[in-house]
Amino acid sequence: MLKIGIDKIGFYAPHLYVDMTKLADSRNVDPDKFTIGIGQEKMAVPPVTQDAVTLAANAAVDILDDNDKEAIDFVIFGTETGVDSSKSAAVYVHELLGLNPYARAIEVKQACYGATAGIQMAKGHIAMNPDSKVLVLGSDIARYGLSTSGEATQGAGAVALLISAEPHIMALEDESVYFTTDVMDFWRPVYSDKAFADGKLSNEQYIAFFTRIWEQYKAKTGMELSDFVAICYHLPYTKMGYKALKNVLEEGTEDVQERLLANYKLSTDYNRNVGNIYTGSLYLSLLSLLEQTEELKPGARIGMFSYGSGAVGEFFTGILQPNFQDYLNIDRHHGLFASRSEVTVPEYEAIFEEALPTDGSTVELDIDNDPAKICLAGIADDKRQYVNKVSRVAY
Ligand code: HMG
């Protein structure tokens, strides 16, 4: 049977971050609340020269070779912080990366669930077209506002997943369970650049979705906790997935519990240092797990819990492939974390308040201060001006 799954994974976060202990101090909050109660150390701060398009393009630019660029005939961009109500962010990325023009390019929206929908769509596309590759992007900037209760759960970043037949990293299994119900736990009306959240309700719904979907998954497949080496979660903050896991942990023996908890910790490391990246968050957690340990063996089954407020949830699974470690970009990703610069809380606040014009006026942005390969260089004639500094694609 044709195996379909994740062939390559790329990640990008902006080069600036704020330290959560210092943010807590300036908000008169006990730092333990942010670092232990919420479980975040550093929060990525996007400069005005980065948006959902550039973050995604930067996540993808280093993982694709010329064969990939030719074989990709579908770009699916999951985001809830896109830059245009009509034109998809995928079209910009398609151009910035120089992909095969005989391709589809679309944007998918359902809060943090968008990239998961993209992966499932990609799987269907490849089942029908086994020589194709699909580029699935999850890219967002999470904004709740300064001094709000959501502030500590902001972040920014993107994950790029190359989905193909005979994948090198993880083959996706066919059984999955998905669930939708209308709930106002988190939303962002079109007039607002900041999200609204009913924090307590959102936490409750997340756990209720996981528990319900997990029960259904077990009933449908006969699987149990012991069949999993790890379960990765959508991580709005790193304590959230732990709360969901804790709810079902007693179903496993002591050994299983220990294994799942140890791997959960590894799967939260990157997210703890970036914050919520919405659509990419679950896949950043998978990357964190795969790149933080050499203990995982080919054949291991990993559970994936995707949750997008509003709300849609899905539990699906994948099997690690032979020599999957050879296809990761551990040094590049560790280098990305190591090369970031800290900003002070006042600097973060100033960057947060910096806004692009909404009245049609022209603006030119200084992209020399942004080390990213792909940047937003300004707005002219109501059109965003993007630059790929390496290939010199600019428009
Ligand atoms: P809050 O009201 O500021 O915090 O909001 P809290 O009072 O609930 O405290 C948080 C935790 O810190 C609690 O732990 C406290 O006990 C603990 P818990 O009881 O929950 O285990 N705490 C301390 N721990 C150690 N030392 C201390 C201390 N003080 C307190 N001194 C909240 C927190 C996450 C609700 C808020 O930040 C928020 O509203 N965030 C945005 C919404 C969100 O992230 N929801 C998560 C589920 S929904 C989701 O995942 C979807 C989403 O990604 C969007 C999408 O789908 O697009 C958000």
Out of 83-92, 132-141, 351-360, pick the least confident: 351-360
Looking at residue 322, its pLDDT comes to: 98
Whether the predicted pLDDT of 67 surpasses 70: yes
Range 102-109 average pLDDT: 98
Looking at residue 242, its pLDDT comes to: 98
Per-residue DSSP letter, 365: -
Average pLDDT over all residues of the chain: 97
Separation of alpha carbons 172 and 150, rounded Å: 33
Looking at residue 394, its pLDDT comes to: 67
Whether the predicted pLDDT of 252 surpasses 80: yes
Looking at residue 158, its pLDDT comes to: 99
Atom 54 (ligand 1): residue with closest C-alpha?
309
The tokens describing 237, both together, are 């903050």
Question: What is the value of pTM for the model shown?
Answer: 0.98
Whether the predicted pLDDT of 41 surpasses 80: yes
Atom 12 (ligand 1): residue with closest C-alpha?
37
Query: Which of 130, 176, 152 shows the shortest CA–CA distance to 236?
Result: 152
For a pocket test of ligand 1, which of 20, 21, 33 has the largest count of ligand atoms closer than 8 A to its C-beta?
33
Please give the distance, rounded to the nearest whole angstrom, from the Cα atom of residue 172 to the centre of ligand 1: 31
Taking only the tens place, the pLDDT of each residue in 11-36 is 999 999 999 999 999 999 999 999 99
Q: pLDDT above 90 covers what percent of the chain?
A: 97
Whether the predicted pLDDT of 258 surpasses 80: yes
| Ligand 1 pocket member 37 (CB < 6 A) | yes
Range 312-336 average pLDDT: 97
Taking only the tens place, the pLDDT of each residue in 81-95 is 999 999 999 999 999
Range 186-192 average pLDDT: 97
Taking only the tens place, the pLDDT of each residue in 374-390 is 999 999 999 999 999 99
Range 186-204 average pLDDT: 97
Range 163-189 average pLDDT: 98
Whether the predicted pLDDT of 395 surpasses 70: no
Please give the distance, rounded to the nearest whole angstrom, from the Cα atom of residue 264 to the centre of ligand 1: 18
Looking at residue 12, its pLDDT comes to: 98
Taking only the tens place, the pLDDT of each residue in 44-53 is 999 999 999 9
| Ligand 1 pocket member 149 (CB < 6 A) | yes
Separation of alpha carbons 97 and 336, rounded Å: 20
User: For residue 32, which atom of ligand 1 is closest to its CA?
Assistant: 26
Q: pLDDT above 70 covers what percent of the chain?
A: 99
* Other beta carbons less than 10 A from residue 249's beta carbon: 15
Please give the distance, rounded to the nearest whole angstrom, from the Cα atom of residue 237 to the centre of ligand 1: 8
Please give the distance, rounded to the nearest whole angstrom, from the Cα atom of residue 199 to the centre of ligand 1: 7
Which of the four pLDDT bands, split at 50, 70 and 90, describes residue 1? confident
With a CB cutoff of 8 Å and minimum separation 6, the contacts of 362 are 378, 379, 380, 381
With a CB cutoff of 8 Å and minimum separation 6, the contacts of 321 are 3, 5, 167, 168, 169, 170, 171, 298
Atom 34 (ligand 1): residue with closest C-alpha?
199
Please give the distance, rounded to the nearest whole angstrom, from the Cα atom of residue 38 to the centre of ligand 1: 6
For the chain, which domains are there? 4-169+329-394 (3.40.47.10), 172-323 (3.40.47.10)
For a pocket test of ligand 1, which of 245, 309, 314 has the largest count of ligand atoms closer than 8 A to its C-beta?
309
Separation of alpha carbons 386 and 58, rounded Å: 12
Whether the predicted pLDDT of 393 surpasses 80: no
Atom 40 (ligand 1): residue with closest C-alpha?
150
Please answer whether residues 115 and 137 qualify as being in contact, where contact means their C-beta atoms are separated by less than 8 angstroms.
yes
Catalytic residue ranges: 80, 112, 234
